[in-house]
Chains A and B, each alone.
Chain A
């Protein structure tokens, strides 16, 4: 099962027939497993990984370290929810160490992101402090290296 998930995590469009051959199962078995994984939300979603810069769309990302005061009974989760519900929040993690949440915010401009931090994030009652780090360049995302590297095959075309 994990081999199937690995294949899909690399290419969500891989066809069941091909996966079946690759892992030595039948197409029906693969379809059944995939369906089960989708139902159980092991496979959360199929999405495309897009280089927005190439698409001519400017997106500014910022990693924001957020310190909060956890709430009684619900701990961090309730505060987290108040933050991740914003569509501007691209991803969000609870962290160990000197701050609590790492919030990745996306916007069209730095100004827009700054506005979101100042007006939306920092004003949440439990938020004690924020530190905003803007992304200057993306090298690798979701296991994929996005900067263009020399990935030419350097091998001889034929060798024994």
Chain B
């Protein structure tokens, strides 16, 4: 039988740490700092109201764009929080997670061979999604010395005639980095100068622990050039609901909606209902989760630094990205040995791009007690493998 698989799909390299995942799956009693989702359950008021709506028979399709009530609530929220005006009728689209939003955005704008600049270390889906949408990912590395912030000069260096968009994601997974407004403003100028678009994945936007997150669309001239992607997974602990939104100019949202209507039809109605409840009544619950993340963040950063795994002061998301250069191990060896010898799971930095290879990602979306126990074991482990 000939090989029926699409060439583009075949060419996407498999995840380098598949083996590592397979080992974890067979182990019990692992303390995991490797999880990319909140340890909190979705706040009860959201779950409870969703149960009610299921009972009421909210079990149908919705319009392709999503429930108008949800789009209106999102539009109102974006105005209240960022003074951004998006018309709920045709500038907001409800998607199945930011993952879908990202895919739609890329497919809506890319012609074969178009280049998308993406910074690394970053979320694992970006490059494959660009490739599957027919584009070409162009990687810009961010560096520890810059607190993993994307620098406009580095972006400008890789711009070609084929560059169509820059994919920006701050607060960042895996580094926990945030980006300051100054840097964003410089990037915005380049976007203007070279007539580009920005896809801004701001899923961790609420999870910042110093100052306010700057929404890229708020920068001068950027609203129409930005595809803002955000959702409910991280801030409201709603990962399993798969619910998010995209906001942008009419043409882009129209194009994204066209793809969405034929491929997804609509996001699950019950998740849309849950999202409305989250936006209307979830703020205080979200704030208390953020407060707790922040306490754990301080503890984990200080402890890792004490151990000798130098850890920059991550101020966003729920990840820290300590360097393992003081050990004799590579990031993959570190993660695998730590798992086998101490039953603690972390993710090797190289999973998020080559430039992450001297680091590991530790998530503090885990209870304080577990974090403390994990740190004890990491300390023990470090003593065995330090340089």
Contact = CB atoms under 8 A, between A and B. Distances in A.
Interface stretch (B67-75, B77-85, B293-301): B293-301
A160 B124 contact: yes
B34 interface: yes
A155 interface: yes
Interface string A143-160: 000000000010111111
B32 interface: yes
Contacts of A155: 32, 35, 37, 39
B32 A157 contact: yes
A159 B37 contact: yes
A157 B34 contact: yes
Contact of B36 (A7, A21, A153, A159): A159
B103 to A, nearest CB: 15
Contacts of A22: 295-296, 298-299
Q: Which of A6, A7, A24, A157 has the most CB of B within 10 A?
A: A157
Contacts of A94: none
Given A7-B295, A23-B298, A160 B347 contact: yes
Nearest to B369: A11
Contacts of A159: 34-37
Given A3-B291, A157-B24, A21 B299 contact: yes
Contacts of B91: none
Interface in B292-347: 295-296, 298-299, 302-303, 345, 347
Contacts of A6: 291
Contacts of A7: 295
A21 B35 contact: no
Contacts of B10: none
A133 interface: no
A90 interface: no
B351 A160 contact: yes
B123 interface: yes
A2 to B, nearest CB: 10
Interface residues of B, number: 27
A18 interface: yes
A158 B35 contact: yes
Contacts of B347: 158, 160
A157 B124 contact: no
B385 interface: no
Contacts of A21: 298-299, 302-303
B25 interface: yes
Contacts of A156: 35
B12 interface: no
Q: Which of B32, B291, B295, B347 has the most CB of A within 10 A?
A: B295
Interface string A13-30: 000001001111000000
Interface in B33-48: 34-37, 39
B21 interface: yes
Given A158-B32, A158-B345, A160-B124, A23 B24 contact: no
B65 interface: no
Nearest to A18: B299
B30 interface: yes
A3 B124 CA distance: 35
Contacts of B163: none
Q: What are the nearest 8 A-B pairs in CB distance? A: A22-B295, A158-B34, A159-B36, A157-B32, A160-B124, A157-B24, A21-B299, A21-B302
Given A22-B295, A157-B30, A158-B21, 4 more contacts: A21-B298, A157-B24, A160-B124, A160-B352
